[in-house]
Amino acid sequence: MNDCYSIERLREAARSRLPRGVFDFYDGGAEDEVTLTDNCDAFQRVRLSPRVLRNVAHVDMSAQLFGLPMGLPIAIAPTGAVGFGWRGGDVALAQAAAKYGIPYTLSTSATASIEEIADKAPGRLWFQAYILQDKARLNALIDRAEAAGYEALVITVDLPVGGKRERDLLNGLSFPMKLGYKNIGQFVRKPFWSLDMLLRKPPFMPSLQGLASLQTDKTKMQGVAGMNYDPAFDLTALRALRDRWPRKLIVKGIVNPLDVDAILDVGVDALVVSNHGGRQLDTGVATLDALPGIVRAVNNRVPVLIDGGIRRGSDVFKALALGASGVLSGRATLFGVLGGGYHGVDRALAILGDELRRTMQLCGTPTLADIDSSVLAQPTSNRGKEEAAI
């Protein structure tokens, strides 16, 4: 892990140890993966305009969210089926988050239970709830999260149906995993991973155990959560959840400013600008491009977080400069755990923290409060268009 000096190097470490189809499940997006790619490219389009002659001998990267401290302006985003890539990976993510004093979000499709995470990784815990058609199960999961002391409930609202992930179709990947002519060669090439899954049996998703299995019709293939999501979920149903859940409520999956007022009227405590990492709707807007509009619509009423495409500490810096209160790390820390378990996650967070600190020093911003749009340059592409118009 010490040789992994960037998130991309951690990604390559994960690729090297996993069968192609398994790696592609975590790495891929919907359809042509336009949104997946654009999430990253959006950060590349933003340029920094550093201030100089500032005292940056000491840099403070600590933040606050909901009145509680965070070691970094980062939370771990919900990522599903982690245990298939690294056994015990969900616990590793949560333990590393606790070390850095940042929130960890447990996915409904995690390979660890609500109670296991609370027992093995006490810290700031959030539970991400998919709105299942089975309301008795959904309510039971929410009640268990409350009983286990989870700080916040995260409601994902950008998944009325499952996305079409064509890498999975190509690789013949399904959960539970099955050997077939498309993937047996991939498994043979990765004997250590394959023997572990064979001898110790693959993990399972406790929160989804017993729900409908994956469809056999590959043209309609989607994840178990997507198959069982309730497409009728609306603002009225969200309000009912707000009344049921007594702690912080976070809504994840917002990109259109027209949705903001109605959601805030329900009484949510934070919004996450997210397009599900490009895994649902392809050709949707990149989250960084959507962020300024959401920030303006929110107008300081609640914190605004963002995920999607964050691979550098400078990406965190740019999100903060555009008005975010913090970021959620999805694939960046996921690549870490897939490449090296707990040590990989620790390495990923160390990389992001080091790069954020360095960017703050080079831009003359010793505290997070100093980071604003004044240290951003207008993108070259926009400047060119304006000059052409003149």
**pLDDT one-digit tens code per residue, 50-63:** 999 999 999 999 99
| Region at 312 (left for phi over 0; alpha for psi -120 to 50; beta for the rest) | beta
**Domains observed in the chain:** 7-389 (3.20.20.70)
Pair 60, 368: CB distance under 8 Å: yes
- Tell me what pLDDT residue 218 has: 46
- Tell me what pLDDT residue 382 has: 44
- Tell me what pLDDT residue 197 has: 84
Pair 360, 352: CB distance under 8 Å: no
**What are 150's two structure tokens?**
């989870």
| Helix intervals (H) in 101-253 | 114-120, 135-147, 166-171, 184-188, 191-200, 224-228, 235-244
- Tell me what pLDDT residue 384 has: 41
Res 108 pLDDT > 60? yes
Looking at the chain, the whole-number percentage of residues with pLDDT higher than 90 is 80
Res 225 pLDDT > 60? no
Tell me the torsion sign for CA atoms 276, 282, 287, 292.
negative
Catalytic status, residue 276: yes
- 115-158: pLDDT as tens digits: 999 999 999 999 999 999 999 999 999 999 999 999 999 999 99
- 325-373: pLDDT as tens digits: 999 999 999 999 999 999 999 999 999 999 999 999 999 999 999 999 9
- Tell me what pLDDT residue 141 has: 97
- Give 202's contacts (C-beta < 8 A, 6+ positions apart): 84, 176, 177
DSSP 8-state class, residue 286: P
- Give 348's contacts (C-beta < 8 A, 6+ positions apart): 7, 10, 329, 332, 333, 335, 336, 337
pLDDT-derived band at 99, boundaries 50, 70, 90: very high
Q: Which of 45, 44, 78, 126 is nearest to 253 (CA)?
A: 78
What average pLDDT does range 208-237 have in this prediction?
Answer: 68
- Tell me what pLDDT residue 385 has: 40
Q: Please give the mean pLDDT across all residues of the chain.
A: 91
- Tell me what pLDDT residue 186 has: 81
- Tell me what pLDDT residue 211 has: 75
DSSP 8-state class, residue 328: E
Residue 9's CB is within 10 A of a number of other CB atoms, namely 16
- Tell me what pLDDT residue 386 has: 39
Pair 222, 163: CB distance under 8 Å: yes
What average pLDDT does range 224-249 have in this prediction?
Answer: 89
List residues bridging with 125 in a β-sheet.
104
List residues bridging with 126 in a β-sheet.
105, 152
Amino acid in position 38 = D
Gap between the Cα atoms of 178 and 310, Å rounded: 32
pLDDT-derived band at 228, boundaries 50, 70, 90: confident
- Tell me what pLDDT residue 191 has: 82
List residues bridging with 250 in a β-sheet.
154, 270
- Give 30's contacts (C-beta < 8 A, 6+ positions apart): 36, 163, 164, 165, 166, 278, 279, 280, 281, 282
Higher pLDDT, 169 or 385: 169
Res 181 pLDDT > 90? no
- 313-326: pLDDT as tens digits: 999 999 999 999 99
- Tell me what pLDDT residue 212 has: 58
Catalytic site residue from 276, 279, 311, 312: 276
- Tell me what pLDDT residue 229 has: 86
What average pLDDT does range 33-49 have in this prediction?
Answer: 97
Gap between the Cα atoms of 290 and 30, Å rounded: 19
For the ranges 106-110, 203-207, 378-382, which has the lowest average pLDDT? Answer: 378-382
